[in-house]
Chain A
Amino acid sequence: MKGDHHVILRVVAKVLIPIIALYGFYVHFHGEYSPGGGFQAGVILAVTVVLYSLIFGIAPAMRAITPGFARFIAGLGFIIYVGVGVWALAMGGNFLDYDALFREPPGGHNGQHVGIIVIEIGVLFAVAGSMVSIFYAFAGRVSEIRDEDW
């Protein structure tokens, strides 16, 4: 470990990243009742990956969360979101009409609960995946002109 000037950073980061992720999920699931939700949570989750790659380098981060996986998550989130809407359509309601999800009688609110949580999961996936993809796109860019050539 001699000569490693970043040992404190590494240790702190290893401790903090899981907590940040946990906080992200808190923001997500609490979003139903208070400020927060999939969008903010998605950014916070993406931050964990960004932080990791800042401390440990982009290559290990890309091994842990591959760019392909990030893109997949982003797309999947989008599909989940639209999927709920189409589900509502298939059950005879309007697009994204949560009440229609389970064809409940008036007064039943399961549809609203499930609907918003699934939708938020979709948003979470989409945002987190997109943020990571964008970060990778910038950070992982190979310079077109080698440094010596300048």
Chain B
Amino acid sequence: MIESISSLVPADIAAHAPALLVVAPMLLAPIAAFMPNGRLAWILSILATGVSLVMAMVLLTQVRSVDGGGVLSYAMGGWAPDAGIEFRIDSLNSMVLLLVSTIGFLAAVFSWPSVVAEVRDAKRAMFYAAYLVCFTGLCGVASTGDAFNLFVFLEISSIATYVLVALGATRDRRALPAAANYLLMGTIGASFFVVGVGFLYAATGTLNMAELAIRLQDMQGNKAVLAGYAFIFVGLGIKAAMFPLHQWLPNAYAYSPSFVTMFLAATATKVAIYALVRFLFTVFGLEFAFEGSTLIWILMPMGIAAMIACSFQAVFQTDVRRTLAYSSVAQVGYMLLGISIGTTLGVSAGMFHLVNHALIKGTLFMALAGMVLSYQGTTLNDLKGLGRSAPWTMTAFAIGAVSLIGVPLTAGFQSKFALVNALFEHGWWWAVAVVMFSSLLAVVYMGRILEAVFFRAPSNPNKRRKEAPLLILIPLWILAIANIWVGVQGGFVAGLAEDAAGSLFIGDVS
């Protein structure tokens, strides 16, 4: 399907797909801000994300048309890379781009009813502008091949995110401190990152990531490079909500508008993890990142600590959104664990889980958004008995939940399977035990929610039957079915993840 859609795009346009993917939302964002009412801005945001989605498909097709995964290089402003800024798309980028733009598109489509309910009329056009800016930033991070440009896009997306989170204040005033907290942490992260990039620039004299990779090969043990490495690692770690740098995340997810939560949960941390992987494997290289430093002794324990500690925290939350937020941190732990194995199999499992987790959390938060629309309140108590009142919405939620637990025939199962397989292959038996234990905790915290939804009598008996509007149900079910599709026919996504991991190991012995 992706091939046939991309074949409809004229070659002239397809040649500029890397730029258009980012430019479309960038151009439409200010225009959306000028729209007299929110509805027009909403339509523009669908348009922009739709264009990006098609371009992401074009990119994927182009990359996959080369055997073993091609590399597309797009010189911004016609300046050849190294001097100019380069957009560089390989298997890994194209996978992340497809993920971000798919989620972005579905989020844009579903957003309207939720935004109407949660954002004041006067703010809606600006809200969509901020959304598009955020989307631009995330796509930019995932496309650029320039370290400083990556920082710029990271900040573009982050600043827009702070605004989006703060707009949840209409519903819950606690969104303001959450946004301020996020702003502080996010800015620290970005500063660390840019300081790290500065060190690298000082040491090598280039900002182009491919060029950096080449020059860094001869600089093992250089103190400036090491310092830069540490700064970048911590900076991106904050953005990716790596345990214990995740404190900003639960509140930001819990109090921002439902639509924002859904979009962020499915994309923001994923893109940060992409950036982390890009730096660890491409820029610094496997040897430097894993053997030349003690990375493995940081990344892996952090991942494991997240899987256990945050799963426990998730068990004890009463607000479902916070449960899911803690679970997100725990799931980031799975990805980090996969990456920390440092083999093709491990990284591919991590990437596979990255995509699947985006689908899972997208489903869960979207269903929750639909529910908030009809019934307000996201505590466990509010959810009681909703399985009867809103069966379609909650069934999709249940699909997401079992996928998160990792029940067979769902996406979550496939990636956990791949992860455990990679762990076995690498001989980390004990980590398998941790993964399984964390999965059991997921059974507990999701089971609690599912039980309240489907087997408890409503706490408020006069809850009438009220589904989420069709505009939410359709994207919701697309995501829910995607969860099952990956679980039953996961070859496509698994293939993407494998290619992505493969592209990181080119030239390395693995």
Contact = CB atoms under 8 A, between A and B. Distances in A.
* Direct A–B contact present (CB less than 8 angstroms): yes
Given A75-B34, A89-B16, A96 B76 contact: yes
Interface string A11-34: 000000000000000000000000
A96 to B, nearest CB: 4
A35 to B, nearest CB: 19
Nearest to A126: B30
Contacts of A98: 77-78
Nearest to B22: A95
A136 B245 CA distance: 34
Given A75-B34, A95-B19, A82 B77 contact: no
A99 interface: yes
Interface residues of B, number: 18
Nearest to B129: A75
- Interface range on chain A (Cβ under 8 Å from partner): 20 to 34
Contacts of A36: none
Contact of B23 (A85, A97, A100): A85
Contacts of B31: 75, 79
Interface string A67-101: 00001100110110011011011001111111110
A72 B126 CA distance: 12
Interface string A42-71: 000000000000000000000000000001
A82 B19 CA distance: 11
B30 A78 contact: yes
A92 B12 CA distance: 8
Contacts of A88: 77
Contacts of A72: 34
Interface string B26-47: 1101110110000000000000
A82 B156 CA distance: 15
Interface in B119-138: 129
Interface string B390-419: 000000000000000000000000000000
B74 interface: yes
A94 B27 contact: no
Given A75-B33, A78-B30, A99 B78 contact: yes
Interface of A: 71-72, 75-76, 78-79, 82-83, 85-86, 88-89, 92-100
26 contacts: A71-B33, A75-B31, A75-B129, A76-B30, A78-B30, A79-B27, A82-B26, A82-B27, A82-B30, A89-B20, A89-B23, A94-B16, A94-B19, A94-B76, A94-B77, A95-B16, A95-B19, A95-B76, A96-B76, A96-B77, A96-B78, A97-B78, A98-B77, A98-B78, A99-B78, A100-B78
Given A83-B27, A88-B77, A94-B19, 5 more contacts: A72-B34, A79-B27, A82-B23, A94-B75, A96-B78
